[in-house]
Structures are given as C-alpha cells and as structure tokens.
Amino acid sequence: MARWVALFEDHDEKVNRPIRAEHAQAHFDYLARHNTEILIAGGLRPGDGEWYCGGLWVMEVPSRARAIELVEGDPYYQLGMRKSYKLFVWGKAPCYGEVVL
C-alpha cells in the first residue's frame, strides 16, 4: 500500500459555490463511505475566510488506478466542480517517526 495525495484545483466561485451548496452532503457521505482509503480530506482556501479554491486528500490505496477511481467517483468531481487534480505518492520525512492517520 502506498500513501497518495490528491491535490484538487476547483473552478472559480461562480461554478464552485452552487455545487458545494447543493451537494456537500453527498460529497461528505462519499468520503465517509471510503474512510478506510481516504484517510483525511479537506478544502483549501487561498487565505483565512476566503472562498474555496480546491482540496487535498491523503489516501492509502494499493495503486494509482484505485486513487483515480476514488477521485473520479466523488460527487464534486462528477458534477464538474473540480477544474483539475494531481496525484502524488507521498512519503514523510524520516525525522517524524511513525505517523498514524
């Protein structure tokens, strides 16, 4: 198993806000259903109090293909809120010891 990070870029607020308003619960339910693979997730903002510009997930999955399935199965992705995403294998710096998510 590898830890993968998904870094999302969202469309601007005009597109983003209505999708978040109407489909946030479906998105959160999706995250909850997959919480053994999507270990932590959350929205990104350019500054404190500013509107969302993207998101970040840390996943523990057996393959890049599975990470893509999870990303592209999310309601936010399917409804067109995400402008793009990037996937990276993530490893922590050794000075942190064991990290449990």
* 69 domain residue, yes or no: yes
CATH number at 66 reads 3.30.70.1060
pTM score above 0.85? yes
Domain span at residue 31?
11-91
* Number of domains making up the chain: 1
Average pLDDT, rounded, for the chain: 95
Distance of CA 42 to the CA centre of its chain: 6
CA distance linking residue 64 with residue 84, whole number of Å? 16
Q: Where are the alpha helices (DSSP H) in the chain?
A: 13-33, 64-73, 75-78
Confidence class for position 1, pLDDT limits 50, 70, 90: confident
Confidence class for position 97, pLDDT limits 50, 70, 90: confident
User: Per the structure block, which two tokens stand in for 65?
Assistant: 């293909």
- As to burial, measured by CB atoms within 10 angstroms (0-12 exposed, 13-18 middle, 19+ buried), residue 49 is exposed
The residues facing 29 across adjacent strands are none
Q: What is the pLDDT of residue 98?
A: 83
Give pLDDT tens digits for 14-28.
Answer: 999 999 999 999 999
